[in-house]
């Protein structure tokens, strides 16, 4: 552990860094600790309520990572992506921790989102934030395996089922969430999840009424599936 977490009288988490030498990839020793040399390309960090899926309503720190290697698959599948993930700045893990602490020191959940967060996340990064006291969720397209240590996996598949099976051989996901619009059939996932959600397609910030009705009908006919609406858009939250 390269930093200590202490709690002050008001119960606020404080970060106290110390700087032991660490061995980096080439076997050399760095004077900087892991969190000062490891960087992520970050699009934005914001504090809000989780709007959809099994964690809906929970206060969370969202870390949107830059870039998405799934974008070509989405384009070819006709999926209209409404997320801006191309821009971003390089931040060290310590920068990310500091921003999260400044925005909401009381927040316990980090949500890694994107773009495709697993393009950048590693088990070491997940371990670092776990050691800093955070629970961590990831929202992924299924393109890559999820690093060890993640506490909650929300998988919204945007890649072929054989890729999903390869990356999640144990089916160890907390929720599977598929976006549906009129004309699209009930999904036939090839892995097991704890919970299954259908999410009506949104037109930008607006809920598409026909998609909502279609998802409601699918859930009524197939009760293993639950309705998940992007409620944060309805609440006017981020």
Residue 81 within binding range of ligand SF4, rule CB under 6 A = yes
Residue 79 within binding range of ligand SF4, rule CB under 6 A = yes
Residue 159 CB, nearest approach to ligand SF4 (Å): 8
- Report the C-alpha gap between 144 and 194 in whole angstroms: 20
Question: Token pair for residue 74?
Answer: 């989405």
Among 85, 128, 134, 152, binds ligand SF4 (CB under 6 A): 85
* Contact between residue 146 and residue 193 where contact means Cβ atoms under 8 Å apart: no
Residue 85 CB, nearest approach to ligand SF4 (Å): 6
Give Cβ neighbours of residue 3 (< 8 Å, ≥ 6 apart). Answer: 15, 16, 17, 18, 33, 35, 94, 97, 131, 132
Residue 64 within binding range of ligand SF4, rule CB under 6 A = no
DSSP 221: H
Nearer to ligand SF4, 68 or 125 (CB): 68
Find the part of the chain contacting ligand SF4 (CB under 6 A) among 66-74, 123-131, 200-208, 221-229: 66-74
* Contact between residue 202 and residue 182 where contact means Cβ atoms under 8 Å apart: no
Residue 68 within binding range of ligand SF4, rule CB under 6 A = yes
Find the part of the chain contacting ligand SF4 (CB under 6 A) among 56-64, 88-96, 114-122, 191-199: 114-122
177 three-class SS: strand
Residues between 121 and 180 with contacts to ligand SF4, criterion CB under 6 A: 141, 158
Nearer to ligand SF4, 84 or 194 (CB): 84
* Contact between residue 157 and residue 143 where contact means Cβ atoms under 8 Å apart: no
Q: Which residues of 84-114 are buried (b: 16+ CB within 10 A; e: fewer)?
A: ebeebeebbbbbbbebbbeeeeebebbbbbb
Nearer to ligand SF4, 33 or 200 (CB): 200
Q: Write out the residues near ligand SF4 by the rule CB under 6 A.
A: 68, 70-71, 74, 79, 81, 83, 85, 114-116, 141, 158
């Amino acid at each position: 552990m390269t930093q200590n977490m202490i709690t002050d009288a008001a119960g606020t988490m404080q970060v106290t860094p110390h700087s032991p030498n660490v061995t980096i990839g080439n076997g050399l020793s760095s004077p900087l600790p892991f969190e000062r040399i490891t960087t992520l390309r970050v699009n934005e960090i914001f504090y809000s309520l989780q709007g959809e899926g099994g964690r809906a309503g929970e206060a969370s720190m969202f870390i949107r990572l830059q870039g998405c290697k799934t974008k070509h698959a989405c384009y070819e599948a006709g999926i209209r992506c409404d997320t801006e993930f191309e821009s971003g700045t390089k931040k060290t893990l310590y920068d990310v921790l500091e921003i999260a602490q400044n925005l909401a020191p009381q927040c316990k959940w980090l949500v890694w989102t994107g773009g495709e967060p697993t393009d950048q996340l590693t088990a070491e990064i997940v371990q670092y934030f776990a050691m800093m006291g955070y629970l961590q969720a990831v929202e992924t397209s299924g393109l890559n395996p999820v690093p060890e240590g993640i506490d909650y996996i929300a998988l919204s598949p945007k890649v072929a089922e054989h890729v999903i099976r390869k990356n999640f051989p144990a089916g160890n996901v907390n929720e599977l969430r598929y976006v549906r619009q009129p004309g699209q059939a009930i999904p036939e996932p090839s892995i097991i999840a704890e919970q299954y959600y259908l999410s009506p397609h949104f037109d930008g910030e607006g809920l598409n009424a026909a998609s909502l009705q279609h998802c409601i009908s699918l859930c009524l006919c197939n009760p293993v599936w639950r309705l998940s609406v992007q409620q944060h858009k309805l609440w006017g939250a981020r």
